[in-house]
Amino acid sequence: MVAILIYQLVYMSRACGSSAQDMCQHILPVSRRNNSLLDVTGVLVCTPQHFVQALEGPDAVVDLLFDKIVKDARHQDIRIIKQRQLPHRQFGAWAMAHDDRTSNAMLSKATDALLADTDAAALL
């Protein structure tokens, strides 16, 4: 039996214009609706000036979504932090979870785990 792997792409960007936290309030409802239709899950971490987002799903779909993000004027200095195939989704319960570092402990732990094995240089 061949295991089906899930593609995960994690990127970081700098918010352009208003704060990333303010923009998240507009991005999240649209992302959740679209991601549910596309079989994409993930998390969007917002700080005042940056986004860190993990997208999980079919390779081609995640790559198309990332291409849209790259062209989105709300993002600058976009860097891919991690791309990998996983045996299961890390954020499977969420079409797009949101972690502003004040949300529930379970999600914060999942986000911390996502970044734990990321080379610190990728975040600089």
Give the predicted TM-score (pTM) of the model: 0.77
Higher pLDDT, 38 or 3: 38
CA dist., res. 100 & res. 108, Å (int): 9
Give the pLDDT of residue 90: 86
> Does the domain formed by 6-123 have CATH 3.30.70.100?
yes
Q: What is the mean pLDDT of residues 94-122?
A: 56
Model confidence at 40, pLDDT cuts 50, 70, 90, reads very high
Placement of tokens 């240089």 in the chain: 121
77-99 tens-digit pLDDT = 999 999 999 999 888 777 666 65
Q: What is the phi-psi region of residue 18: left when phi exceeds 0, alpha when psi lies from -120 to 50, beta otherwise? A: beta
Give the pLDDT of residue 34: 87
Quick one: which of 109, 46, 45, 122 has its CA closest to 83? 122
Query: Is pLDDT of 114 > 50?
Result: yes
